[in-house]
Structure 1
Amino acid sequence: MSQDAAVGAASRTGSRHKKAWHLAERPLVWLAPLTLLLFVTYVYPAIDVIRYSFTDATLLNPEYAYTTDSFKAVIRSPDLPGILWVTFAFVVASVILQLVLGLLVAMALHRGVRRRLPGVSVVRIIILSAWIVPGVAAGIVWQLMFNEASYGFLNAVLRGAGLSPVAWLSDPNIALWSAVIANVWRGTAFSMLLLYAGLVVIPSSLYEAASVDGATALKQFWYITLPQLRPILLINTVLISIFTLNTFDLILPLTGGGPGRATEVLALYTYNTVFRNFDLSNGAVLAVVLLLISIVFTLIYVRLLPREL
C-alpha cells in the first residue's frame, strides 16, 4: 500500500471514529426514533386508556363526558372482591408452579447436556413447543382434555383405570385449578428457558470446590445454585406474574370464566366489560387497575434484586 493510500485509509477511519464519538456524545440522536416508537405503541395507548377511565364512554355511543363515576361504579361493584380473589389464587398458584417446574426441568436438561445424553435436544424442543402455542389454541386443547364427555382424554384415562371421572370444568372448586394446570403447562417452558440460561453461566469450579469439601447435592443446590440464580429467579417471577395477571386468552375458550364466575380473572372480567357489556369507561378503569397491580409487582421484585445489578 502506498503512503497516500495509507494516509487516506487512516483519514477515513478517523472520520468514522469521530462520527461515532459525536453520536456517543449525543445519545438523543439515535434514541429519538426508539423513543418515538415506544411512545406511539405503548405510552400513548396507556394514556388514552387512563383518559377513557375518567369518562362515561361506551362502544355504542360515540359521545361521552368526563366524570369519575366509572371509578365509583367499579369500586362499589359486588363482583370485584370475588374477581380479585380468583385472580390472586390463579396468579400465585401459576407463578409458584411455573418457577418450581421450570427450575426442575432446566436442571434436568442442564445435567443431560453436560452428560451428553441422547435425546436432550428433542426434549427441549418438545417443552418449548408448548410455549409457542397461542393461548386460544392451548385453551381449546385443554378444553378437549378436561371435557367430561366420552371423548375427554383425562376422564377416559380415569375410566380405563377403574376410577370415577372428575368434573374438571363444571365443578367450581376444581375449575380454577384446571385453568392453573393449563396455564402452567403453557408457561413452564418460558421459566425453563430463562433458568436454563442462568444455570449455563454458573462456574463449574464452584461445584467442584463444594464436592471437594464434601458438600452433598442438596447443599450445593441450596448454597450455590439458588444464590447464583437469584437475579434470574426474580426477573422470571416479575415476567410470569405480569403475563399470568394479563391472561384471558387461555381461559376464554377453556371455561369462559365459569362455572358461574369461578375462573373469571381480572383480565377476562375487563374483556367482558368492554366487548360484551360495551362499557368502555368501566373497562378502562379495570385496565388501569391491572396496570397498577403490575407496577406494584414490579416495584416489589426490583427492591428484592441484588444491589450490584
Structure 2
Amino acid sequence: MPVSRFVELVGIPRRSYTRWLARERAGGGPGKGPWPAPAVEAAEPIVEKYAQVWPAWGHRKIYGLLVADGYDFSASTVERAMRRRNLLQPVTYQRERRQLAAARKAAFADQPSRPYQVWQLDFSEYETITGGVWRLAGCADYYSKYEFGWHVATTSTAADAIAAVELAIAEAERLVQRPLLEQQTDPDTGEIRPVMLVTDNGSAFTSVRFERFLRTRPELSHVRTRANTPGQNGVRERAFGSLKYEHLYRLEIDDGQSLATEAEQYRQVFNHTRPHEALGLRRPAEVHHEDQQTQASTASN
C-alpha cells in the first residue's frame, strides 16, 4: 500500500504528513513546542506549596485559595502548574464530584435565596481502627453550605438525630446572637418562617420520637425526600464525601473520640478556609456573615 494511502486511512492530514516528511529529509529540525511558559514556571513553586498543604483539593480549590490570598494566577495556570508537578486529582475523582453536583442542583425546584431557609440532615458511617463503626449526624445549610456541627455516636437512632438538630440550633444561635425562633419570626406580623429540615426516610427520621421533638420547635418544619432519591439531600451527602475523602480517609483514626476531634477540625477548615465552587469560591462562613449583615441592614432601614 502506498504510504500516502496509509496516511489517509489512519486519519493524518496529507499536509501534516508532507511537512513531517520534508523536515525529516532536511535532517530533522525542532518540532512544535514545548513553548516557554513563564507564568506557569513562576507559579509552580507557590502552587506546589499550597497543594502540599491541601493534598485532597483539586486545582479549582487551590486556585480559589490563591486568589483569596492575593495571588494573580489564572485557573488554567494553576491547573498546568499542578499537572507539571503531578499534583492533580485522578479523573475519577472529578467525575464523582460532577455527579454529586448534578444531584445537588436537582434537589429543589425553587432554590433557597438565603441561609436559614433549608437545612439538610443525615447520617454517615465511618469505621475506626480499634473503635468499630461510628455514625456522624449533622445539619448543613443548603444556601451557605455552612456545617453546624457533627454528632458522633455508635448508633443512628431518633435520639442521635435529635442531638444533631439541637447541636445545629445551638450553633445557629451562636452565629446570629439570638434565639433561632426569634430570628425566624417576622417582627411586624409575628408570623414564623420555619427552617425547612430535609431528611431521607430513615427510621430515625420517621419515628414518633423525632416528630414529637420537632413539634416542640416551631422554628423548624420537617420534610422528607421521596423514597430512593438521595440526590434530594445532595448538599448533605456532598459535604460528608468531602469530610471523608479530603480528611478522614487520609488518617488512621483509632476511636470515636479521635473521630470527633478530627471531624471538628475539618469542619473549621470547611467553613472558614476551603473555597466552595457553588459559592463562587467563597467560604460558607463568609456567605453566612454577609447575609446576616444584609438582613440587619435591611431591617434597620
* TM-score, structure 1 normalization: 0.27
Kindly indicate which of the two structures has a greater share of residues assigned to helix.
1
Using CA pairs below 8 Å that are at least 6 residues apart, which structure has the higher relative contact order?
Answer: 1
* TM-score, structure 2 normalization: 0.27
Kindly indicate which of the two structures has a greater share of residues assigned to strand.
2
